[in-house]
Structure 1
Amino acid sequence: MDVAELLEVASLLVPEEAATENDITVRDIWDYLVHDEWEIALGLLEELGDARSLPLAFWEQLAEAAEQLRLERSATWCHWRCSEIRNGVIRADLTLGPAAEARRTTPISGAGVLRPMWDIGLFSPTGGRAVSIAGLWVENMPMLEPGGRATVRLVPLTPSHWTHVQPGQQITMHEDRAVAGTAVILEVCRPAGAMT
């Protein structure tokens, strides 16, 4: 499929009553599609998708369209949203350790590149602390500096490890044995296997 077809299919998966914060609806997006303004249509469809729960197929269509348009950040975000639907997502308030106290002295990328280990209260078969891996996306920031604080989105590598995690729970981030940051869980969305 070409970009126009991908965006048309994605727009058909959005409920007609859905609107962005600026009251842009699917009908408005169709006007952009008719005039071949695909980047604008893609951005508005992403906004609509971020405001409500939409099926995996929606994000897959947007990811492919973004790749064809060579919009790397949009493609990465759409693939990330596909992962959230498949594996679930945990939103948390993360504070990184300051550079003087932690091993990390450089900022972390906000675009889902880092997959740190998390102490979420699990134990190994021998009784020691166990960690679980989750990808990390920083909301509304391209980078998070050491000592910085931000809302993050975590996509568990093994969703079954995270079933006990609840809002209000504190977890710790590790890039090695040392604690790299602490986070308080804000929201837990389980995998949406039925949303295909």
Structure 2
Amino acid sequence: MHVPELLRRATDLIPDDARSDAGLVAADVREYLVEDEWDLALGILEDFDGIEWQPVEYWDLLVEAARQLFLERRAAWCRWRGWETRNGVVKADLQLVAPEAGGRHLPIPGDGKLRPMWAIGRAAPGPHEDLHIARIWVEFAPELEPGGRGSVRLAPLTPLNWRHLAPGDPITMHERSPVAGMATITEIRM
């Protein structure tokens, strides 16, 4: 299937009352498709935040369209959103410890590759009873600088263990001793 058909099929999955973060609707996407503005159409489709209505198929279609357009970071983003559709959304405000205070010296890559451990206030079996692994996607930036602060999305390895969290709950990031960062949950839908 080629890009226009992939995007059309994804657009057909959007409910009539759904709006993107910018207030656009499926008809707006269709207009861009008629004009062969595939990149713009993909951008609008990525902007819909409908975990309640978006099937994994929606994100799979967008992954393939982005891949065919050679937009690898956007394909990775759509894969991430598909994961969230299956497992839930965890957003947090993360403050990294400064390098001079023992924090990391390299930026956190923004594309979900880093998988640190997190103390989330729930015990798990093993020697690190309170630590749980979750990948990090940095929102609104390609990376998070050492000692920096930013909005992140987390993809827990074991999502069920994170369901007790609520907005305002503190969690800590660990890569080694000491703590690498402190975060506050800003949104959780699981």
TM-score by length of 1: 0.88
The code of the aligned residue for 2:77 comes to W
Q: Which amino acid aligns with 2:62?
A: L
Q: How many residues get paired?
A: 188
State the identity %.
50
Moved over 4 A (4+): 124-128
After superposition, the Cα gap between the structure-2 partners of 1:168 and 1:66, relative to the gap in structure 1 and judged at 3 Å, is same
Comparing 163-172 with 91-100, greater Cα deviation is found at 163-172
Distance 2:64 2:150 in 1: 29
Structure 1 residues 165, 24: closer, same or farther in 2, change over 3 A? closer
Deviations 1:127-166 (A, max 9, x none): 8633111111111111111111111111111112212222
Q: Following the alignment from structure 2 to structure 1, what is the Cα–Cα distance between the partners of residues 125 and 23? A: 53
- Which residue of structure 1 lines up, in the alignment, with residue 73 of structure 2? 73
Describe the superposition over 1:5-26 as per-residue Cα deviations: whole angstroms up to 9, x where unpaired. 1101000011233334554322
Q: Sort the Cα spacing of 1:128 and 1:176 in 2 relative to 1 into closer, same or farther, 3 A.
A: closer
The Cα offsets for residues 71-118 of structure 1, whole Å up to 9 and x where unpaired, read as 111101100001111222211111000011124111111121211110
Whole-angstrom CA distance in 2 between matches of 1:134 and 1:25:
33
Identify which range, 18-27 or 37-46, moves more after superposition.
Answer: 18-27
SS in 2 for 1:186: strand
Determine if contact 1:88/1:156 at 8 Å carries over to the other structure.
no
Contact 1:90–1:153, Cα closer than 8 Å, also in 2: yes
Superposition pairs of residues 147-158 of structure 1, within 5 angstroms: 147-158=147-158
User: What residue number does 1:194 align with?
Assistant: none
**Alignment match, 2:145:** 145
> What is the CA-CA distance between 1:175 and the residue it aligns to?
1.1
Give the unaligned 5+ runs of structure 1.
191-196
The answer for the alignment partner of 1:94 in structure 2 is 94
Unaligned runs of 5+ in 2: none
Cα pair 1:89 1:156 within 8 Å, conserved = no
Partner SS for 1:36: coil
SS at 2:17's partner residue?
coil
Is the CA contact (8 Å cut-off) linking 2:134 and 2:155 kept in structure 1?
yes
Distance 1:18 1:81 in 2: 17
Map 1:1-196 to 2 at 5 A.
1-47=1-47, 49-50=48-49, 52-53=50-51, 54-125=54-125, 129-190=129-190
Amino acid at match of 1:44: I
Q: For residue 5 of structure 1, give the secondary structure of its aligned residue in structure 2.
A: helix
Kept after mapping to 2: 8 A contact 1:32/1:41:
yes
